[in-house]
Structure 1
Amino acid sequence: MILLRKLLFPFAILYGLITSLRNYLYDIGVFKSYSFDIPVIAVGNLSVGGTGKTPQIEYLIRLLSTTYKVATLSRGYKRKSKGFILANATSNADILGDEPFQYYSKFKDIIVAVDADRKNGIENLMRLKDKPEVILLDDAYQHRRVKAGFYILLTSYDDLYCDDFLLPTGNLRENKSRAKRANVIVVTKCSPTISNDEQLKIKERIGLNIPIYFSSIDYDSSVYNQNQSLEVLDINNKSKILLAGIAKPEPFFNYLRTKNDELLVFPDHHHFSESDILTLKNKAKDKIIITTEKDFVRLKTEILAEQLYYLPIKSKFVNQQAIFDKTILDYVGTSSRNR
Structure 2
Amino acid sequence: MNKLRKILFPFSIAYDGVTSIRNWLFNNNYLKSTKFDIPLICVGNLNMGGTGKSPMIEYLIHLLKDDYKVAVLSRGYKRKSKGFQLVDLNNKVEEVGDEPLQFKLKFPDIVVAVDANRRRGIEKLKDVVEVILLDDAFQHRKVQPLFSILLTSYSDLYFNDLILPAGNLRESKSGAARANCVVVTKCPENLSYSKQQQIQFDLKLKPHQHAYFSSISYASLIQGVEKVKHLEYLEEKEFVLVTGIANPSPLVNYLKSLNLSFKHYNYSDHHNFTGQELVQLDQEKCILTTEKDFMRLKNNIKVAELYYLPISVSFLNKEEGFIERIQNAAAGIPEEENVDF
Shorter-chain TM-score: which interval?
over 0.9
Match of 2:168 in 1: 171
Q: Does 1:252 align with 2:231?
A: no
- Whichever residue aligns with residue 199 of structure 2, its letter is I
In the alignment, structure 1 segments of 5+ residues that lack a partner are: none
Give the corresponding residue for 1:45.
Answer: 45
For residues 29 and 176 of structure 1, the distance between their equivalents in structure 2, rounded to whole angstroms, comes to 21
- Which residue number in structure 2 is paired with residue 145 of structure 1? 142
Q: Is the 8 A contact 2:286 2:303 kept in 1?
A: no
Aligned-pair CA distance for 1:182: 0.4
User: Which residue does the alignment assign to 1:103?
Assistant: 103
Aligned-residue offset at 1:255: 2.1
- Rounded to whole Å, the distance in 1 between the matches of 2:119 and 2:21 is 21
Tell me whether 1:135 sits opposite 2:136 in the alignment: no
What is the match of residue 270 of structure 1? Answer: 271
User: Which secondary structure does the structure 2 equivalent of 1:54 belong to?
Assistant: helix
1:296 Cα deviation (Å)?
0.3
Deviations 1:148-167 (A, max 9, x none): 11100000111111111111
Q: How far apart are the structure 2 equivalents of 1:126 and 1:201? A: 41
Q: What's the CA shift for 1:334?
A: 3.9
Q: Aligned pair 1:193/2:190, yes or no?
A: yes
Match of 1:235?
Answer: 234
Cα distance in 2, alignment partners of residues 49 and 334 from structure 1: 29
**Which residue does the alignment assign to 1:204?**
201
SS in 1 for 2:156: coil
1:30 equivalenced with 2:30 (yes/no): yes
Q: Tell me by how many angstroms 1:273 deviates.
A: 1.7
Cα distance per residue 1:174-229 (max 9 Å; x no partner): 11011010001000000111111111010011111311000000011111101121
How far has the Cα of 1:234 moved from its partner?
A: 2.7
Q: Deviations over 1:228-262 (max 9, x none)?
A: 21111232231101100001111112222456411
Name the Cα RMSD after superposition: 1.6
Question: What is the identity, as a one-letter code, of the residue corresponding to 2:294?
Answer: F
**What residue is the counterpart of 1:85 in the other structure?**
85
CA deviation map 1:35-65 (0-9, x unaligned): 1001000100001010000000000000000
Aligned partners of 1:56 and 1:93: how far apart in 2?
Answer: 21
Structure 2 unaligned spans of 5+: none
- 1:30 deviates by 1.2
Whether the aligned pair in 1 keeps the contact of 2:89 and 2:108 (CA below 8 Å) is no
Structure 2 CA distance, aligned partners of 1:213 and 1:321? 8
User: SS in structure 2 opposite 1:303?
Assistant: coil
Aligned equivalents of 2:250, 2:32: Cα separation in 1: 41
Q: Aligned equivalents of 1:2 and 1:238: distance in 2?
A: 41
Between the aligned partners of 2:251 and 2:236, the Cα distance in structure 1 is 17
Residue 58 of structure 1 corresponds to: 58
Moved over 6 A (4+): none
SS of structure 1 residue aligned to 2:102 = helix
How much does 1:11 deviate?
Answer: 0.6
Conserved? CA contact 1:43–1:137, under 8 Å: yes
Deviation of 1:335 after TM superposition, in Å, equals: 3.8
TM norm structure 2: 0.94
The 3 A distance-change label for structure 1 pair 2 and 277 is: farther
Distance 1:52 1:201 in 2: 22
SS in 1 for 2:195: helix
Give how far 1:2 is off: 4.1
2:324 matched residue in structure 1? 326
SS in 2 for 1:158: helix
Q: CA deviation at 1:34?
A: 0.4
Contact 1:49 1:247 in 2 (8 A): yes
Counterparts of 1:217 and 1:2, CA distance in 2: 31
Q: What is aligned with 2:311?
A: 313
Give the distance between the partners of 1:293 and 1:74, measured in 2 at CA: 17
SS at match of 1:35: coil
Cα drift, residue 280 of structure 1: 0.8
Which residue of 281, 302, 305 maps to 1:304?
A: 302
- Partner of 1:72, secondary structure, is strand
Report percent identity of matched pairs.
50
> Contact 1:73 / 1:118 at 8 angstroms: preserved in 2?
yes
For 2:243 and 2:288, locate their aligned partners in 1 and report how far apart those are by CA, in whole Å: 9
What residue identity is the alignment partner of 1:325?
Answer: I
Q: Which residues in structure 2 correspond to 1:66-81 (within 5 Å)? A: 66-81=66-81
Q: Is the 8 A contact 1:189 1:216 kept in 2?
A: yes
- Change over 3 Å in CA distance of 1:243–1:306 after alignment to 2: same
Contact 1:232 1:256 in 2 (8 A): no
State how many pairs are aligned. Answer: 331
Distance of 2:2 and 2:74 partners within structure 1? 32
Q: Residue 160 of structure 1 corresponds to which residue in structure 2?
A: 157
Q: Letter of the aligned partner of 2:252 in structure 1? A: F
